[in-house]
């Protein structure tokens, strides 16, 4: 099988308007380009949406509408601090609320970002769930935190990971300038090639509609 490009005639232009036949080269293994005479089963047609009637009439069922036997509602109890140590979690009061089927501690004792999950509650109804979440008692030791990168890298900044001596050890080193330059040059080259292809396609189109 020859690897040389195959020359094909392709009809281009505007349906119902001016058209012409052009010759294109198709490399081995590449798909044959579409032309004005190509017939499609779906593209360019108006296929019926199977769920259109159900959605328009409100009969469509979404995940939220599904209620199977044994299903429960679940919600996390979240820490309202950016950095804190969880001293204690008491879920006993939540377990006693009618409708609550499960309540337990969740996640790490060290809170490293706002709204980190510290406990989880499951209940038979939304009302019982919200009551159960409110009943969970959590005691925190609020710790200092850095809100920006420059603050996190400053001398004496609060350490994010306790097993590291500095936050700098948890941040990846930036790429070298040489690798960045190579990447930029490669991107610029690709963009330039695309510009040339777009210009050629536009010129071909102008020739068709003249």
pLDDT along the chain (210 residues), means of 10: 78 84 85 83 85 93 87 95 95 97 92 94 96 98 90 85 76 50 58 66 55
Looking up tokens 């004496």 gives: 156
Strand partners, 139: 88
The CA–CA distances, whole Å, from 45 to 33, 35, 39, 55 equal 19, 16, 10, 22
Position 207 scores a pLDDT of 54
Fold exhibited by the domain 72-163: Aldehyde Oxidoreductase; domain 3 (3.90.1170)
Predicted confidence at residue 65, as pLDDT, reads 87
Q: To the nearest 10°, report the CA torsion of 35, 40, 42, 46.
A: 80
Q: Which residues of 82-109 are buried (b: 16+ CB within 10 A; e: fewer)?
A: bbbebeebebeebeebebbbebebbbee
Give the pLDDT score at 156.
85
3-state secondary structure of 174: coil
Provide the pLDDT for residue 53.
93
Q: What is the pLDDT of residue 11?
A: 86
Q: Residue 12's pLDDT is what?
A: 84
For residues 61-78, one letter each, b for 16 or more C-beta atoms within 10 angstroms of the residue's C-beta and e for the rest, the string is eeeeeeeeeeeebebebb
The pTM of this model reads 0.54
Rounded (5°) CA angle 26-27-33: 30
């Amino acid at each position: 099988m020859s690897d040389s490009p195959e020359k094909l005639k392709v009809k281009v232009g505007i349906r119902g308007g001016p058209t012409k036949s052009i010759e294109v080269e198709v490399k081995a293994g590449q798909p044959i380009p579409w032309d004005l005479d190509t017939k499609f089963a779906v593209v360019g047609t108006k296929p019926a949406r199977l769920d259109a009637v159900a959605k328009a009439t409100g009969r469509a069922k979404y995940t939220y509408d599904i209620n199977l036997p044994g299903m429960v509602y679940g919600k996390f109890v979240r820490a309202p601090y950016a950095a804190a140590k969880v001293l204690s979690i008491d879920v006993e009061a939540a377990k006693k609320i009618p409708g609550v089927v499960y309540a337990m501690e969740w996640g790490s004792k060290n809170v490293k970002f706002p709204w980190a999950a510290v406990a989880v509650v499951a209940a038979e109804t939304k009302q019982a769930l919200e009551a159960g979440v409110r009943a969970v008692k959590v005691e925190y030791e609020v710790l200092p935190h850095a809100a920006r990168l420059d603050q996190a890298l400053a001398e004496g900044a609060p350490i994010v990971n306790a097993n590291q001596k500095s936050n700098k050890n948890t941040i990846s080193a930036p790429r070298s300038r040489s690798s960045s330059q190579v990447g930029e040059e490669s991107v610029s080259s690709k963009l330039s090639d695309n510009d040339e292809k777009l210009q050629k396609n536009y010129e071909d189109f102008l020739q068709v509609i003249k």
